[in-house]
Chain A
Amino acid sequence: MKFRKNSWLILAGTAAMALAACGGSKSQSLTVCLASEPQSLDPALNSAVDGATMLVHLDSGLYRYQKDGDALKLTLDLAESITKATAEVTDHEPDGDNWKAVNYPNGTRYTVKLREGIKWSDGSAITSDDFIYSWNRASGASLGGDYCYMFEQIADGVAHETDDVAYPSLALKKVDDRTFTFDVMVDVPFMDQLLAFPTYFPVQKATIEANDTEEAGTWATSPSTFVSCGAYKMSAWEHNSYITLVKNPNYWDAKNIKLDKITFALSDDDSAMLASYKSGQYQMIDSVPNEQIDSLKAEFKNEFVIAGQMGTYYISFNVNSTVFSKAANEADRAKVRRALGLFIDREYIVKEIGKAGQIPANAFVSAGLSDPAGGEFVDHNGPERDGAGYYKKGENDADYKANIAEAIALLKEVGYTYNESTKKFTDFPAFKYLYNTSSGHQAIAENIKDTLAIYGITVNLENQDWSTFLQTRKQGEYDVARNGWVADYDDPSSYLTMWTTVSGNNDCQFGKGAHKDAAIYSADLNNDGSISDDEKNLTWSQSYDALMDKAAKETNAAKRFQILHAAEDVLMSTGAICPIYYYTDIYMLKSNVSGFFSSPLGYKFFMYCSVK
Chain B
Amino acid sequence: MNKKMAGYILKRLLLGILTYLIVVTVTFWVMQLVPGGPWTREKALSDAVIATLNKRYGLDQPVFIQYLRYLGRAMIFDFGVSYYYKGREVTEIIANGFKISLAIGGWAAVLALIMGLALGTYAATHQNKVFDRIIMVLTTASVAMPSFVTSLILLYIFAVNLSLVPTSPVGVDGIGPYILPVIAASLYPTAYITRLVRSSTLDVLGQDYMRTAKAKGLAPSRILIKHGLRNSITPVVTYFGPMFASIITGSLVIEKVFQIPGIGRQFIISIQNRDYPLIMGTTCLLALLLIAFTLLSDVAYILVNPRVDFD
Contact = CB atoms under 8 A, between A and B. Distances in A.
A306 B27 CA distance: 44
B46 A141 contact: yes
Interface string B151-168: 010011001100100111
B160 A220 contact: no
A242 interface: yes
A467 B273 CA distance: 7
A275 to B, nearest CB: 5
Contacts of B86: 39-40, 42, 45, 215-218, 220-221
A219 B156 CA distance: 39
A227 to B, nearest CB: 14
Contacts of A214: 81
B87 A215 contact: yes
Interface string B78-93: 0001001111100001
B32 to A, nearest CB: 14
A275 B272 contact: no
Interface in A102-149: 141-146, 148-149
Interface string B96-124: 11000000000000000000000000000
A165 B52 contact: yes
Contact of A146 (B37, B43, B170): B43
Contacts of B43: 47, 146, 488, 505
Contact of B170 (A217, A220, A263, A503): A263
A597 B128 CA distance: 63
Given A272-B259, A278-B160, A165 B48 contact: yes
A31 interface: yes
A419 interface: no
A484 B37 CA distance: 20
Nearest to B45: A146
A218 B80 CA distance: 13
B203 to A, nearest CB: 42
A240 B265 contact: yes
A272 B85 contact: no
A310 B35 CA distance: 30
A470 interface: yes
B296 interface: no
B269 interface: yes
A399 to B, nearest CB: 32
Contacts of B171: 31, 242, 263, 265, 281
Contact of B261 (A166, A241, A275): A241
Nearest to A211: B87
Contact of B35 (A216, A239, A266, A472): A472
A344 B311 CA distance: 70
Contact of B49 (A145, A472, A505): A145
Nearest to B266: A240
Given A269-B257, A470-B41, A281 B35 contact: no
A537 to B, nearest CB: 30
B274 interface: yes
B178 to A, nearest CB: 12
Contacts of B160: 275, 278-279
B273 to A, nearest CB: 7
A37 B82 CA distance: 13
Given A45-B86, A241-B259, A470-B42, A31 B170 contact: yes
A144 B93 contact: no
Contacts of B167: 272, 275-276, 279, 281
B35 A467 contact: yes
A31 B42 CA distance: 29
A472 B37 CA distance: 11
Contacts of A267: 168, 256, 259
A384 interface: no
A36 B273 CA distance: 13
A218 B168 contact: no
A212 interface: yes
A239 B41 contact: no
B44 interface: yes
Query: Which of the four size classes fits the interface of chain B?
Result: 35 or more
A120 B221 CA distance: 71
B59 interface: no
A149 B155 contact: no
Interface in B159-207: 159-160, 163, 166-172
A287 B87 CA distance: 28
A271 interface: yes
Contacts of A218: 86-88
Interface in A430-465: 465
Contacts of B75: none
Interface in A24-64: 31, 33, 36-37, 39-40, 42, 45, 47
A292 interface: no
Nearest to B97: A240
A322 interface: no
B258 interface: yes
B84 to A, nearest CB: 6
B55 to A, nearest CB: 8
A146 B259 contact: no
B166 A220 contact: no
Given A221-B88, A271-B257, A144 B52 contact: yes
Given A242-B170, A263-B170, A471-B35, A276 B259 contact: yes
B36 interface: yes
A70 interface: no
A466 B257 CA distance: 22
Given A144-B49, A148-B46, A272-B155, A281 B96 contact: no
B48 A141 contact: yes
A503 B36 CA distance: 19
Nearest to A278: B160
A167 interface: yes
27 contacts: A31-B170, A31-B171, A37-B85, A39-B84, A42-B87, A141-B46, A141-B52, A146-B49, A166-B46, A166-B51, A167-B48, A214-B81, A240-B96, A240-B97, A241-B169, A241-B259, A263-B170, A268-B256, A275-B159, A281-B167, A281-B170, A465-B36, A467-B274, A474-B44, A504-B44, A504-B46, A505-B43
Interface of A: 31, 33, 36-37, 39-40, 42, 45, 47, 141-146, 148-149, 165-167, 212, 214-221, 238-242, 263, 265-269, 271-272, 275-276, 278-279, 281-282, 465-472, 474, 484, 488, 503-505
In the A-B complex, the 5 residue pairs with the closest CB atoms: A504-B44, A467-B36, A217-B86, A240-B261, A166-B48
Given A165-B52, A212-B87, A474-B40, 15 more contacts: A42-B87, A144-B49, A145-B49, A148-B46, A166-B52, A217-B87, A219-B87, A272-B258, A275-B156, A279-B166, A281-B170, A465-B36, A466-B36, A467-B36, A467-B40
Interface of B: 34-37, 40-49, 51-53, 56, 81, 84-88, 93, 96-97, 152, 155-156, 159-160, 163, 166-172, 256-259, 261, 265-266, 269, 272-274
